[in-house]
Structure 1
Amino acid sequence: MVDGKKMMNICILEILRKYTDSEHTMDQKDIIKKLETEYGMKVDRKSVKSNLMNLVDFGYNLECTEIERENKNGETEILTKDWYYNHEFDDAELRMLIDSILFSKTIPRNQAQELIEKIKGLSNVYFSAKVQHVCNLPGLSHTDNRQTMLNVEMIDDAISEGKKVAFLYNTYGIDKQLHPRKDTKYIVNPYQMVANEGKYYLICNYDKYDNLSNYRIDRMTEIEILDEKVKDKSLVKGMEHGLNLPQHMAEHLYMFSDPAATIVLKVQKGNMGDIVDWFDKNFEVLSPKFVQNNYPDNFNPETDANKAFIRVTCSQNAMFHWAMQYGTSVEVIEPADLRERIRDAVNEMAERYK
């Protein structure tokens, strides 16, 4: 049994947090019942009202309906009812957070479950009941690397302190376990972490190069923060004036690190939604006149009426895989070496599937 006088306000706050929201309110009599059943406290309405008003005065996010009425002495008094706790996150926001964890391949399964339980605790019993049907974590793909969240924390510290990091970089073997690519550690200048396609990446630089590289954080083990200061960003291509993250992401689909190139594509007009999904609006639609003058061998007015020519800036390695993915709906016009690379791959596949 709890000491009623000292703890009543905390108990009332917890009851409202756990059992109420704008659609599920409580009157003072409901609060009195919960205090007795959950905390063994027998209290009167006057004490409950006094504690409720104290909580409001202390700045707690409580809401209620106020009603004016005249008492026996002819004086106006304020009655309160329909009390509820105004949660920091609404159910839709919490569900979005849970979904992002469910479909993140970076967070280990046990940590994902713990995070989801913590998020559920930010709302009330009604929200917990709503999310009982969410997909089972064992059925979703999550990293086997239990160090991932610690990796994120350590890299964040290194970036804040302007220090280099060292780590082993791993890949999966036929035993389905992570194994180091090489015995020695990678040493890089860390600049930014980013989430892409459910995975965390570190955007960084090697001292001996002047370009950016991307590494999956869930593939890193044995991370350590070094005493050496990171290379000045102004010495790294693409970071002379700071990192333009939206541009970097658009130019490096699948997080490939090779330099971006200008690429011309012929696409189905009906697939412009896919183009925007992948490149946002960072592409140029070429005019029919420009296309006829510059790509006459690739343009047929009769058969290409439902097609558009666009120009994007993107990693060639990334575009190779993207073009293969959308093979029947897209054609790479230039650069010629990328077009040839795709043609060779398609011919090889055709031979394989004969």
Structure 2
Amino acid sequence: MNESRVFALKILAILQKYSDEDHVLSNQQIQDLLLANYDIKMDRKTLNTYLNIINDEGIADISMYQDNRKGYYLISRLFEKSEVQLLCQSIYSSHFLSASLSDKLISKLLSTQSKYVEKTFNETMAQKNKAWKSENKQFFHTIDILLEAIEKKCAVTFNYAHYDIHKQLIFNKEQRYKIHPYYLVQSNNNLYLLCRTKNYQDINAYRIDKILNIELTDEKARPLEYGFDLHKHVKQRMYMYADKPVMITLRFHSMILDDIIDMFGKEIIIQPDREQKDLLITRVCSSKKGMLYFALQYLNNCEILEPQELRDELIECLHQGIDKYQKQ
């Protein structure tokens, strides 16, 4: 790389780290920072030449002294400040990422901003407790292998972990899963692999943060059936339960309408109950196991009307719960 290109990149790096709309740098300050950070000594005229080249050639969008009468700062960045804040918060709240992987991602995102934005983020970041983060440091390696396997249409093998009483991820070394991978999807704040085994038709879901020691194989993956609808499949598998979805009629209080739409989407048809004010009725296609879990969470404001066997199953769960809590 020639010297001129190196100088231009270093000037741009200074502007990216030390300048923004609220922190405008003078020509002398940029010279001082070049010397302090990169041992580059540059006079005022040469610096102005480079700043003009960077701006005029579209390498970066710089607010110049003649624009603001104060100095120089970087106007546009790869990400806006609000976008970085949103992405960083999402990373910190994703428990399937280990603390170390989260920190690396956050650091990469913050490197697109000035150091002042980084300071503000660290002061205002809501999620600072890392005790609940995953311990699986193979997470991105697993994703890389899965993406390669999906592209090459080949099977993979892996161990599948679970927590023990000491809160450590453990697995049976002798038990290797061999599956045909199809999609990576996020649901319920987890990242899942949708796949199936060689001799079974049903699509299964595995949490990627619990996959360990993944390896590619030479076995060709069985293709999905033509017309497979990923969006429909995920929407109908509440909490990623794999049982066959059925049509379910719900009656619910209007106070949980937002939660119903968040869970089932805006495509559902909602009608007012003819007999009781503030109650609404809808029909959804969903996993029975997932719906049972959902209905128990919203027990006071949601009722399963059909199918009867699912309604009976919920009643049995309630009886068992009452018996458990009534025991002395």
Q: CA deviation at 1:312?
A: 0.3
Deviations 1:24-64 (A, max 9, x none): 33342332343344445443321111111222344311322
1:104 CA displacement = 0.7
1:8 Cα deviation after fit: 3.4
Equivalences for residues 63-212 of structure 1 within 5 A? 63-65=62-64, 67=66, 81-133=71-123, 134-135=125-126, 137-180=128-171, 183-212=174-203
In 1, distance between residues paired with 2:4 and 2:289? 69
Evaluate the alpha carbon distance shift between residue 262 and residue 107 of structure 1 in structure 2; reply closer, same or farther with a 3 A threshold. same
Greater shift after overlay, 80-89 or 263-272? 80-89
Structure 2: 5+ residue runs without aligned partners?
Answer: none
CA spacing shift, 1:259–1:82, aligned 2, 3 Å: same
Q: What SS is found at the alignment partner of 1:353?
A: helix
- Is the partner of 2:269 in helix, strand or coil? strand
Q: Structure 2 vs 1, CA of residues 83 and 178 (structure 1 numbering), >3 Å: closer, same or farther?
A: closer
Instruction: Structure 1: give runs of 5+ residues left out of the alignment.
Output: 69-78, 235-239, 290-300
Do the aligned residues in 2 keep the contact of 1:250 with 1:282 (CA within 8 Å)?
Answer: no
Per the TM alignment, residue 109 of structure 1 is displaced from its structure 2 partner at its CA by 1.4
Task: Provide Cα deviations, 1:236-277, integer angstroms capped at 9, x if missing partner.
Answer: xxxx313332x2222111111111110001100221111011
Q: Distance in 2 between matches of 1:174 and 1:140?
A: 15
Query: Are the aligned partners of 1:113 and 1:137 in contact in 2 as well (CA < 8 Å)?
Result: no
Tell me how far apart the structure 2 counterparts of residues 172 and 184 of structure 1 sit (CA, whole Å): 16
* d(CA) in 1 for partners of 2:187, 2:213: 23
Q: Residues 258-269 of structure 1 correspond to what in structure 2 (within 5 A)? A: 258-269=243-254
Give the superposition deviation at 1:204: 0.9
Cα distance between partner residues in 2 of 1:83 and 1:184: 57
Q: Secondary structure at the match of 1:168?
A: strand
Deviates more, 1:38-47 or 1:217-226: 38-47
Q: Helix, strand or coil: the match of 1:194?
A: strand
Q: Equivalent residue for 1:322?
A: 294
Q: Distance in 1 between matches of 2:4 and 2:234?
A: 57
1:140–1:274 CA distance, 2 compared to 1 (3 A): farther
Higher Cα Rg: structure 1 or 2? 1
Cα distance in 1 between the residues matched to 2:318 and 2:103: 42
Give the aligned partner of residue 216 of structure 2: 225
Output one character per residue of 1:4-23: Cα deviation in whole Å (capped at 9) or x when no partner. Answer: 97853333212111112234
- Give TM-score scaled by structure 2 length: 0.90
Deviations 1:91-134 (A, max 9, x none): 11111111111011111111111221222112111111111222
Q: In the alignment, what sits opposite 2:278?
A: 306
| 1:281 counterpart letter in structure 2 | K
**1: CA distance, partners of 2:48 / 2:105:** 35
Identity of aligned pairs, percent? 25
After superposing the two structures, state which structure 1 stretch, 110-119 or 268-277, moved more: 110-119
- The 3 A distance-change label for structure 1 pair 10 and 288 is closer
In structure 1, how many angstroms separate the alpha carbons of the residues matched to 2:159 and 2:306? Answer: 38
CA contact (8 A) 1:283 1:313 kept: no
Query: d(CA) in 1 for partners of 2:42 and 2:161?
Result: 61
> Hey, which bits of structure 1, 4+ residues long, moved more than 6 A?
none
Instruction: Please provide the CA RMSD for this pair.
Output: 2.5
C-alpha displacement at 1:172, in angstroms?
Answer: 1.9
1:182 and 1:253 map into 2 onto residues whose CA distance is: 31
Check 1:170–1:34 CA distance in 2 against 1; reply closer, same or farther (3 A cut).
closer
Q: How many residues align structurally?
A: 323
Secondary structure at the aligned position of 1:352 is classed as helix
Deviation at 1:142, TM superposition (A): 1.2
Name the SS of the counterpart of 1:193 in structure 2. Answer: strand
Q: 1:16 matched to which residue of 2? A: 15
